[in-house]
Amino acid sequence: MKLEEIREYILENITRDDLTSDRINRHINNMIKRIARYHNWKDLYVKATTETVANQPEYSLPLGGNRLKDLISITLSDGSARGVRLKFVPYRQFHEIIPDPSNGLLGKPVNYVVWDNVIQLYPTPSDVFTLNLLYVKWPEDLEEGEEAEITGVDDLIIAGATSSLFMSLQQVEAAGVWHQQFNILLQEAVQADIKNTDSEFRLQGYRASDLSVPTQNQPM
């Protein structure tokens, strides 16, 4: 469903003639981002590849203009065997586990930490290795004539944006009714997305069954 079609459904729900297209579009795009926060949707997964350089520990993530939401995995390959998944170290713990990453230790990387859109590998690569990344991006704003990147959630977007608009109009009761519908549709959509997660992702060490289903949340 295209942006203008979603907007028409929302106008039918609210039945007001003083809402501009720009105002409704803002609520639609804010709701799409909110939906993306709840779950790593399959449609937002991206695979990317980059190569290391000997004696260089830090690398910009190959996002290609995308905005990073979650980095799921990094698999290292030296071309001679099956890739090895690197171990993620939270940045708050990195210097506790690896007190001096600049101590000159070279070899095949085992750990990585993420600083903004930069990854730091440890040990520092001693050679050229291939890094295969699986990450989740943030969805782009929806423009006229475009469909949402997350497929199959048009009814969820409509319910959420309708609730959000009613709340902005201080119609709390109507907002609450539509938010209850949003919660029901969200549960259904997440379960369906988990069920349909490609086996390709599971081969990366990512199991759909590890995902938690979002709990009930308050009106927008």
- Domain identity same for 37 and 49: no
- pLDDT score, position 196: 78
Question: pLDDT tens digit string along 108-152?
Answer: 999 999 988 899 999 999 999 999 999 999 999 999 999 999 999
Report the domain count for the chain. 2
- Domain identity same for 158 and 127: no
Q: Strands (DSSP E) along 26-67, which ranges? A: 45-51, 58-60
Contact in structure between 220 and 179 (CB atoms under 8 Å): yes
Q: Is residue 217 part of a domain?
A: no
Q: Is residue 215 part of a domain?
A: no
- pLDDT score, position 69: 94
Q: Which of 137, 158, 179 is the last residue of a domain?
A: 137
pLDDT at 37 over 80: yes
Q: Binning pLDDT at 50, 70 and 90, where does residue 202 land?
A: low
Dihedrals phi, psi of 112, to nearest 5 degrees: -145, 155
- Domain identity same for 69 and 105: yes
Q: Which of 111, 137, 163 is the last residue of a domain?
A: 137
pLDDT at 97 over 80: no
pLDDT at 199 over 90: no
- pLDDT score, position 214: 46
- Cross-sheet strand order for the sheet of 111-115: 58-60, 118-122, 111-115, 87-88
Question: pLDDT tens digit string along 150-172?
Answer: 999 999 999 999 999 999 999 99
Shortest CA distance to 117 belongs to which of 58, 31, 161? 58
Alpha-carbon distance of 2 to 9, in angstroms, equals 11
Question: pLDDT tens digit string along 45-85?
Answer: 999 999 999 999 999 999 988 999 999 999 999 877 678 99
Kindly report the average pLDDT of the chain as a whole number. 88
Helices of type H across 62-153? 91-97
- Domain identity same for 133 and 48: yes
- Domain identity same for 130 and 170: no
